[in-house]
Amino acid sequence: MKTVGLITEYNPFHNGHAYHIEKAKMLTGADRVIVVMSGDFVQRGAPAVMPKHLRAESALLSGASLILELPVCFATGSAEYFAQGSISLLNRLGCIDSICFGSECGDLHLLKEIAQILADEPIEYQTALRQALKDGASFPAARQKALNIYSDKYSEILALPNNILGIEYLKALAKLHSKMEPFTIKRIGAGYHDMDIDGQFSSATAIRSDIYQLADVNSSSESLPLTHIQTQVPSSCHELMKKNYQTRYPVKADDFSLLLKAKLLSETAGSLSHYLDMSPELANRILRLRNDYLSFEQFCDLLKTKELTRSRISRSFIHVLLGITNDWLTAMKAPAPYARILGFRRDHADLLGILKRTSDIPLITSPARAVLADTAYQMLELDIYASDLYESVITDLYGTPFHNELTKQIIKI
């Protein structure tokens, strides 16, 4: 039996993700698909549009075998830490033969070339990078500029989000000397940032935007508006979305606006600078413009500069909300210390027995009963807090009962 690992967010799950699962199995010859998925907060620095258990159930209904939660400190980190956490988790399971990720270019050899340069950081690359940063470019832009000394095509590849993550996965595999074999699938349909609902493979960005717009104009709990995205998601997922529409989702960044404002009002430039992704420049800019704060999204837009990317600002805000400081960096540079199971398919339940034999980290089926070392326990506590905070916003939005994270059951399909 072969097993392929996927690294995902499913925000939300759509046809492109179902294609990824099936294509990964075909490409790698795998019988089982183990997915590492972001929890209730995602890498771009935002809450997920719907709770992690709903997204996990969607993936299981569409062919995934088992879903694991990526600890929130990795899930909300930069691309480098997101990749390191995900790859290390899959690697420590001891039963993953390969990983398969989507990319805009679909060229594994080319991605490996770039990953090698970024991992080795030759002197000429370092010099070009420092000069670009000195000239005022943001780090992503400076890195692209530095790669131009090798080839224009490298810079073009690094301009696209799935390529960037793919390169970070390859770097993490090399760093761990992992035996997992990498494969990539060329992204099909709409681009990552495309906003139009079109064809059968619209982007998650477009689908989220459509869900948010429909929720804004439709205050009832009727599921009729979701017919607009019916062609974009597997039918089983669409039924799940209709069932939970405006009772469990949608959730957006602005739903956390008052929580964030309360936190920012209690901070100083010094205390803000202790949060992950928060530079002194950003901290000072926040304090200067704090009186102009209207909402999470509006403040991100207001703070954005040539040097400060919007994604960096939004990630720093999530770190403020969750209390993720620079002290977490040591833990984030180490391999993932546990694997929390969100759900599995009953017909692939044999994977649980295999994982118990091969994994060198604890498998968590019940957070309330987890026995972990100090750092790992603190990481799990942070996961629980993040999900309880997310759940509190759902409760406030839709007037539904609060479901404590410790009481939530594993999804079994």
Name the binding residues for ATP.
7-20, 102, 162, 187-188
Q: Between β-strands 41-42 and 32-38, what pairing exists: parallel, antiparallel or unpaired?
A: unpaired
Q: Are 129 and 148 in contact (CB under 8 A)?
A: no
**CA pair distance 367, 383, nearest whole angstrom:** 10
**CA pair distance 79, 74, nearest whole angstrom:** 9
Residues annotated within a binding site: 7-20, 102, 162, 187-188
Q: Is the dihedral of CA 319, 325, 326, 331 positive or negative?
A: negative
SS3 content of the chain, % helix, strand, coil (to 5): 55, 10, 30
Q: Measured at the alpha carbon of residue 231, what is the angle toward residues 40 and 203, in degrees to the nearest 5?
A: 50
- Which has the closest alpha carbon to 156: 205, 107, 102, 203? 107
Name the β-bridge partners of 98: 4, 181
- Which has the closest alpha carbon to 7: 162, 119, 118? 162
Following DSSP, what letter does each residue of 107-124 receive, concatenated?
-HHHHHHHHHHHHH--HH
Q: Are 67 and 351 in contact (CB under 8 A)?
A: no
Name the β-bridge partners of 102: 185
Cβ of 341: how many Cβ atoms within 10 Å? 19
3-state secondary structure at position 282: helix
**CA pair distance 225, 262, nearest whole angstrom:** 34
Determine the distance from the C-alpha atom of residue 152 to the mean position of all C-alpha atoms in its chain, rounded to a whole number: 29
**CA pair distance 16, 8, nearest whole angstrom:** 12
Phi-psi map region of 155: left, alpha, beta (phi>0 left; psi -120 to 50 alpha): alpha
DSSP summary character for residue 77 = S
DSSP summary character for residue 348 = G
**CA pair distance 171, 113, nearest whole angstrom:** 10
